[in-house]
Structure 1
Amino acid sequence: MAYNEVSVKAPVGKKIYSQEEAVKASFEYFKGDDLAARVWVNKYALKDSFGNIFELTPDDMHKRLAKEIARIEKRYPNPLTEEEIYKVLKGFKYIVPQGGPMTGIGNNYQVASLSNCFVVGNDGDSDSYGGIMKIDQEQVQLMKRRGGVGHDLSHIRPKGSPVKNSALTSTGIVPFMERYSNSTREVAQDGRRGALMLSVSVKHPDSESFIDAKLEQGKVTGANVSVKIKDDFMEAIEAGKPYVQQYPIDSDKPTYKKEIDAGALWEKIVKNAWKSAEPGILFWDTIINESVPDCYADLGYRTVSTNPCGEIPLCPYDSCRLLAINLYSYVEEPFTTQAKFNFNLFKEHIHYAQRIMDDIIDLELEKIDAILEKVNSDPEAEDIKFTELNLWESIKKKANEGRRTGIGITAEGDMLAALGLRYGSENAIDFSEEIHKTITLEAYRSSVYMAKERGSFKIYDSKREEKNPLINRIKDADPELYEKMTEFGRRNIALLTIAPTGTTSLMTQTTSGIEPVFMPVYKRRRKVNPNDKDVRVDFVDEVGDHWEEYTVFHHKFKTWMEINGYKTNREYSQEDLDGMVKKSPYYKATSNDVDWLAKVRMQGRVQKWVDHSISVTINLPADVSQELVGDLYFQAWKNGCKGVTVYRDGSRSGVLLSNDSKEKKKAGSFPTKRPEKLEADVVRFQNNKEKWIAFMGLMDGKPYEIFTGLSDDEDGILLPRSITKGYIIKSWDGEESSRYDFQYINKRGYKTTIEGLSHKFNPVFWNYAKLISGTLRHGMPIHKVVELVTSLQLDNETINSWKAGVARALKKYIPDGTLAEDAKCGECGSDEVVYQEGCLTCLSCGSSKCG
């Protein structure tokens, strides 16, 4: 039972379904889509804390949602009926509440929030240790209830600043990045780790250290990181001028200033993004200048950071719930010359969506009351519960006062293809802008109508918003709407976003969010036994494992095939597949094909009609230059984007394959003769209540040997926790007797040596360590070594605990994207499970399991 859940036994007479029953029924519901069926059953079907399933198909879920939303509607004039709500939810066709709302609405078996996104922070930007620890506890409290969290580190004083405690000077930002990251990794969310965004202003003197932190192996693996870029920094780069960093970053009288080479820092940002897809960029002046909530900054709505995917910039203790409108469903006669978009129905449903979103705020307020009631009833002392209670009271106040909503979309790529528009072309960009302009005008119109019937958000003031660029675009596009808004107010402080829609798009069976199709046709691999009867072997990897490759069609590409007379249940040659794609509207419109600058222009034009932000990735081939990444960032800034992320093919890899055959790079071997001195990492971990330590000798940054065991003073491992790096040195006690010492630099700059690592631990550990080190030195892939270690059959419980610890230590070094062979996703059943930052991550549904 998870700590945050209240276990309630199923009521008498309540039908309970087995996993097999629900998957089978949902498989039929999704017309043979096993992945969609398993994702829904594992993530969204109504369950209690014992795993009992109370819904057979998504239709049961949609009736549950409709019933609860209709209950809230009855509180207000002119309510929508339960049947009206059900019709727009049914079949994931039109309106799709995302994540938390889908799971939590009407779920009385768990005490959890409906919000997808949170930001926390300190009033007055306190950087005291108490303030920093408070944020750490707050993010954990939110993550345990499945919320994604963001917070900014720009308030922490830079490294070397004087402090009034025994440390004398500040450690700077990076150690706290590690603290927050580690806390995130520790939080369990039904087998998933927490989601965290850390941001810092480029004006902060430690921003360069922040940018570099994630490049160090094993560091800050539990967080996304983004740099808040100011306009004056971009202007300094353009002009080739230096840039002044300072602390505090917004002070007229800073206590610390330094001049830097703006171009050099920019080059580092670009290089790191090219290399690892991080840091992301947040164009902070654009975010603040465009932000409607920031018209109320002095009343507590000053935006400080974003949620983990960057689509919702938030003030401290605000939250947001997400909903997606399925754009494909408004295309009539798709993939024909008669295809057209039904704007009338679309506008009607935008009003439904905004009302449903406002109702979900009321449902969230009920959930927060339940959380507060549970915390108050918990047996802990009041001082222990204080931070958690304060946190939820603050979140409740913001939700009730601002009533922020997050209406977005999915299936933009499929919508354009169904209309015969090539994603990224000028006419497609024009049409997309018109779609998002329509969403803005109708959602704001709905919010104004609700303000007339239900009351405006509590601090609405038309005078405060007079100079806001988005409000003025609305005024220019629809003067009557603006006039009504100034008369009646608006129900919600901000309304719109474009979020990634990973599992949502699996269930709508469409492209994700605003993104183009990834690939209309691709191949998946499944591992096979070559001795099995009738097995087909298409690929043998570098370690001799056999794989079958099979063709997968994107759902709406299959629709195009059927409309154009192609069979979808037969095998096609590669030449035939290429020919089909070339004839389709998906040709030259995939995530890797779309012109990068066109995508930036599209994002900028759509962003003008989104009051929050957009989660979008620019996909680049592996061979692009760093200069191109820098050019794209500049174009994003000039085109009015609020943020941008690039992904260069190969910087992280997976198991989805393009249909082009590419030769696999073979794993190389290390020299078997051990150098006298090796760089080393110190890896600490915990099994149950036992603390363990591993000294990992590295060759070319990869594991070469390992020494590990219990971390106990009695064993002689007296090593400060601050030491994470050093050297393992091979020395000689006699002509034939060797030993291995660990050497590191202490705080005073002196070399310190721990002698005889091989004698510090249990001799049984040492014997197995020699076996493992031997396999590492001969070039066995690390994931194979992990499999070898975990497969050891050992009777001794202590040795088994050691075995698990070694596997955990080694997993940190498995290259991101490595396929976890013979592994299945516990959430959706997919075999597309890869290692990502030491955790097992499913490429199909995004679930992640660590440890």
Structure 2
Amino acid sequence: MKASVEYFNGDDLAANVWVNKYALKDSYGNIYERTPDDMHRRIAAEIARVETRYPEPLSEEEVYAVLKDFKYIVPQGSPMAGIGNPFQISSLSNCFVIGSGADSYGGIAKADEEQVQLMKRRGGVGQDLSHLRPKGSPVMNSALSSTGIVPFMERYSNSTREVAQDGRRGALMLTVSSRHPDAEGFIDAKLEQGKVTGANVSVRIDDAFMKAAIEGKPYQQQYPVDSPNPDFRKDVDAQKLWKKIIQNAWKSAEPGVLFWDTIIRESVPDCYADLGYRTISTNPCGEIPLCPYDSCRLLAINLYSYVENPFTPEAKFDFEKFGQHVQMAQRIMDDIIDLEIEKIDRILEKIEKDPEAEDIKATEYELWKKIRKTCVQGRRTGVGITAEGDMLASLGLRYGSDEAISFSVDVHRTLAVNAYRSSAIMAKERGAFPVFDAERESDNPFINRLREADPALYEEMLAHGRRNIALLTIAPTGTTSLMTQTASGIEPAFLITYKRRRKVNPNDKEANVTFIDEVGDHWEEYNVFHHKFLVWLEANGYDVEKVRRMPSEELDPIIEQSPYHLATANDVDWVQKVKMQGAIQKWVDHSISVTVNIPEETSVEMVQKIYETAWKEGCKGCTIYRDGSRSGVLVSDKEKKTGAANEFQETMPPKRPEVLEAAVVRFKNNAEDWIAVIGLYANRPYEIFTGKSEDIFIIPGYVTKGWVMKNTDDEGHNRYDLQFEDKQGYRVTIEGLSRSFDKEYWNYAKLISGVLRHGMPIPYVVDLVEGLNVEEDYINTWKNGVVRALKQFVPDGTKAAESACPSCNDADGLIYKEGCLICKSCGYSECG
């Protein structure tokens, strides 16, 4: 770790990512590489080994030179961790799509198994659910009718959560066609807290739907969705369904949208649809639309490194070097396909040797045979980029401006032409992908765009074919960008600065004490900057260490002088960003993973404008994230116009008095009688204890209030006692509220007490508790008893944190009243 921190010039976050995710290690956690330089040597040696199979091979030193220091070419994720790794039998593919098209319980269960088999080999998985019959359809078994697609979304989601991959959870994309009769249920599925938490979801929207939604016309849903003679049809209000998609995305950042006709129309592999390359879904982040049982590996080119004299008037982009490296990157990606085939062969060999019965191993074995076949026949690659935002800033271009969009298009056109040229050269030297047929591709818009940009390239493809069926993508590059120390993928820089704290010695004369906490510890707050902003500071003569300690009022004017001003994730013109995505998409044969970040106060109408602009501009998909619509993300250090800090606040709970007033609430946990004791601070829940009434909770039925006293036992441990008054007015004490706690319930109670003490609004605590996954999740469970107890403390008229009204679908209709949820629009009541 120490050596890696030194390698990254003190960047402990980048070092942590590399050590934990990508350093070569065995199954016992032993690490065999000291720094990323060892990793780059490992990868270069393997690429060079494959190169010797072909004419004019690249040397190990040539490959190492472009990998070194993450400067130019960066294999992403699975290739970085898996190339040359003898300790783990895993795939080099980042993403897969599965789908037999079987509409049966056997087919559903088989897809579930295929999904987890791929995830355990480090791959993300996508699958489409449009082939499953809609809810209410007759079935020839004891169920009599189908449950529809939504229950199976939860099944696949739960399976994903179960699969651990060396610290990274499985990743899943679920999609459905807008033509499917269950599309609305799919769109709403993630609004229920605790459900479908292991999957991203996106709707495959066709042009007919978009036109009907914009024009206010009806839209036909049917099953089967692609049949010219469907068994079932119904007309829906496209505009209403579109607004639901927009509302849900505004509220929870999902579903994403995939503009399916654009995807299919532009897709080069779909020229071979009848040979098995019909696109059905995407990988979890949406940048690779894939056919069933195909896979892709990812590699990023660091655009920032091609800028000479960055952040100066002499800054310029080296298109010649860039073009050469793109051709080399495509060649390296093709070598990685050979390495992947070797990996798949090792997986198949392992399965064959496994001691399990043949029928148990059959699904996994046949799965990898299918993937191998599709990989060999298509040789699909995923060459992409990272640091687009830093490249533009270093050239003095503001992200999202017309000038910046135009320049980015030039860069991506250059990338596309050179990648395809490299693939054509390799076809001549190594052979074309086996199913290549120029006539099939003659009307493809993307291929014809290349033809217009470089006629000689097109002629070369006609003469020799192409090595790879499709080549390009732009992935998120999350952890990759931490190691390149740049903005991620096509995105702008997320933040220019945020604050960190470190404890300091108050006796140190050099210490800069920002504040003293409630226990007397001294802390210093300091600014942490986006890496390339530091380069700008140095290039413009600023003392970086001095700037690190500046308060916001001094720092902001400096940021305003930089090319990053109004060019970060929450600052860019959102519609312009979508236009930029659409313009670049024309030179990316797969797709682009991009998120439009918008402030919390952004209207639903603006989200609708963003999505509709994305469709009109030729984007293949779109995802928005509204600040605050999901928890757990990095937010800015700026202040909102209201003056409230737009950042995570480190809060301290009010110090607990020795005695708290308490409410006593009874509930059922299955057939058992349980009691909740809720300690109140300023008439607000502060802590909660629960237990069985027949154990130590011998509390008469008339007791509804009392006091919780915090004491210390002889061993120095905290102990909480309950006092209440009996009918004669005497105080009765029950010692040790925690003694009868089941361990699981005790841990949940501590979690709930923690968020209560730190001031989370009660409706959100209720939402949190309802989302907990506990065993025996029926109406009378402990979890729901706690929910009922807490709801009593939600003030009447408080807007619910849950979803829209299930009766009238009013997104703002549900409010609390006397502990019950009611709809102020239609009168719906859900008393709990």
When normalised by structure 1's length, the TM-score is 0.78
Measure how far apart 1:633 and its partner are: 0.4
Deviation at 1:765, TM superposition (A): 2.7
Alignment counterpart, residue 391 of structure 1, candidates 367, 378, 387: 367
**Cα distance, 1:126 vs. partner?**
1.1
Using the TM superposition, give the Cα deviation of residue 735 of structure 1 relative to its aligned residue in structure 2, in angstroms: 5.4
Amino acid across the alignment from 1:130: G
**Compared with structure 1, are the counterparts of its residues 300 and 52 closer, same or farther at alpha carbon in structure 2 (3 Å cutoff)?**
same
**Counterpart amino acid of residue 45 in structure 1:** A
Contact 1:672 1:778 in 2 (8 A): no
CA contact (8 A) 2:662 2:677 kept: no
One-letter amino acid of the counterpart of residue 512, structure 1: S
Partner of residue 279 from structure 2, selected from 303, 309, 332: 303
Decide which of 179, 185, 204 is 1:228's aligned counterpart.
Answer: 204
Per the alignment, residue 260 of structure 2 pairs with 284
Instruction: State how far apart, in whole Å, the 1-side matches of 2:261 and 2:669 are.
Output: 40
Give the secondary structure class of the aligned counterpart of 1:61: helix
Per-residue CA deviations over 1:87-137 (Å, capped at 9, x if unaligned) read 111111110001111111111111100000111111xx2110000001100
Q: Assess, with a 3 A threshold, how the Cα gap between structure 1 residues 61 and 766 changes in structure 2: closer, same or farther.
A: closer
1:779 and 2:760 aligned: no
Q: Which residue of 1 aligns with 2:251?
A: 275
Query: Residue in 2 aligned with 1:377?
Result: 353
For 1:424, the equivalent position in structure 2 comes to 400
What corresponds to 1:576 in structure 2? 554
Is 2:309 the partner of 1:333? yes
**Residue of structure 2 equivalent to 1:353:** 329
- 1:201 shift after superposition: 0.8
**Which residue of 644, 659, 668 corresponds with 2:637?**
659
Kept in 2, the 8 Å contact 1:236–1:242? The answer is: yes
Offset of residue 294 of structure 1: 0.4
Q: How does 1:360-759 map to 2 (within 5 A)?
A: 360-525=336-501, 549-570=525-546, 571-654=549-632, 656-661=634-639, 662-663=643-644
**TM-score, structure 2 normalization:** 0.79
**C-alpha displacement at 1:777, in angstroms?**
11
2:160 is matched with 184
Rounded to whole Å, the distance in 2 between the matches of 1:734 and 1:298 is 72
Shift of 1:778: 10
Match in the other structure for 2:216? 240
Q: Contact between 1:782 and 1:810, CA under 8 Å: does it hold in 2?
A: no
SS at match of 2:544: coil
CA contact (8 A) 2:663 2:704 kept: no
SS of match in other structure, 1:233 = helix
Answer yes or no: is the 8 Å Cα contact 1:416–1:423 preserved in 2: yes
Deviation at 1:291, TM superposition (A): 0.4
Amino acid at match of 1:580: I
Deviation (angstroms), 1:502: 1.0
Post-superposition shift, 1:403? 0.2
Contact 2:401/2:576, CA 8 A, preserved across alignment: yes
Flag the structure with more relative contact order, 1 or 2, with Cα contacts below 8 A and sequence separation at least 6: 1
C-alpha displacement of 1:779: 3.3
Relative distance call for 1:333 and 1:393 in structure 2 (3 A) is same
| Corresponding position of 1:142 | 118
- The aligned counterpart of 1:92 is 70
Q: Is residue 342 from structure 1 mapped to residue 323 from structure 2 by the alignment?
A: no
Give per-residue Cα distances to partners, 1:349-382, cap 9 Å, x unaligned.
0110000000000000000001111111111111
User: Cα gap change, 1:240/1:90 in structure 2, threshold over 3 Å: closer, same or farther?
Assistant: same
1:206 paired residue number? 182
CA RMSD of superposed structures (Å): 3.7
CA distance in 2, matches of 1:344, 1:116: 30
Partners of 2:350 and 2:743 in 1: CA distance: 50
**Structure-2 change in CA distance of 1:470 and 1:681 (3 Å):** farther
Equivalent residue for 1:162? Answer: 138
Q: Secondary structure at the match of 1:198?
A: strand
Deviation at 1:601, TM superposition (A): 0.6
Displacement after TM superposition at 1:562 (Å): 0.7
Matching residue of 2:18: 40
SS at match of 2:176: strand
- Pick aligned residue for 1:216 from 184, 187, 192: 192
Match of 2:269 among 293, 297, 306: 293
C-alpha separation in 2, matches of 1:282 and 1:143 = 23
Q: Distance in 1 between matches of 2:151 and 2:16?
A: 40
Following TM superposition, by how much is the alpha carbon of 1:540 offset from its aligned partner in structure 2, in angstroms? 9.0
1:612 partner SS = coil
CA contact (8 A) 1:776 1:782 kept: no
Q: How many residues align?
A: 712
Q: 1:85-124 to 2 correspondence within 5 Å?
A: 85-122=63-100
- 2:218–2:236 Cα contact (<8 Å) kept: yes
1:280 Cα deviation from its structure 2 partner:
0.5
Partner of 2:297: 321
Q: Classify 1:473/1:382 alpha carbon distance in 2 versus 1 (closer, same or farther; 3 Å).
A: same
2: distance between equivalents of 1:96 and 1:573? 37
Q: Aligned to 1:260, what secondary structure does the other structure show? A: strand
Cα deviations across residues 657-682 of structure 1 (Å, max 9, x unaligned)?
A: 5332453699999x99879899x999
Secondary structure at the aligned position of 2:741 is classed as helix
Distance 2:700 2:134 in 1: 46
Conserved 8 A contact 2:666-2:676? no
Alpha-carbon deviation of 1:242?
1.2
| Cα offsets for 1:772-801 (capped at 9, x unmatched) | 76975993349999xxxxxxxxxxxxxxxx
CA separation in 2, counterparts of 1:768 and 1:597? Answer: 48
How far does the alpha carbon of each residue in 1:183-207 deviate from its partner, in whole angstroms, 9 at most, with x for none?
Answer: 0111111122111111111111111
What is the alpha-carbon distance in structure 2 between the residues aligned to residue 181 and residue 51 of structure 1?
A: 28
**Aligned residues of 1:113 and 1:145 also touching (Cα < 8 A):** yes
Question: 3-state SS of the aligned residue for 1:765?
Answer: coil
How far is the alpha carbon of 1:536 from its aligned partner? 6.8
Asked if the contact 1:334–1:419 (Cα under 8 Å) also holds between the matched residues in 2, the reply is yes
Matched position secondary structure for 2:440? coil
Greater shift, 449-458 or 647-656, is seen at: 647-656
Q: What secondary structure is seen at the aligned counterpart in 2 of 1:569? A: helix
Partners of 1:541 and 1:266 lie apart in 2 by 49
Please, which runs of 5 or more residues in structure 1 have no aligned partner?
1-22, 683-691, 710-714, 716-731, 739-761, 786-804, 815-851
Q: Secondary structure at the match of 2:220?
A: strand
Aligned to 1:55: 33
> What is the CA–CA distance in structure 2 between the aligned matches of 1:71 and 1:637, rounded to whole Å?
44
Deviation per CA, 1:122-174: give whole Å up to 9, x if none: 1xx21100000011001101111111111011111111110000100001111
Listed one character per residue, the Cα deviations across residues 408-431 of structure 1 (whole Å, up to 9, x for unaligned) are 000111101111111111110000
- Name the structure 1 match of 2:708: none
Paired residue for 1:820? Answer: none
Q: Secondary structure at the match of 1:409?
A: strand
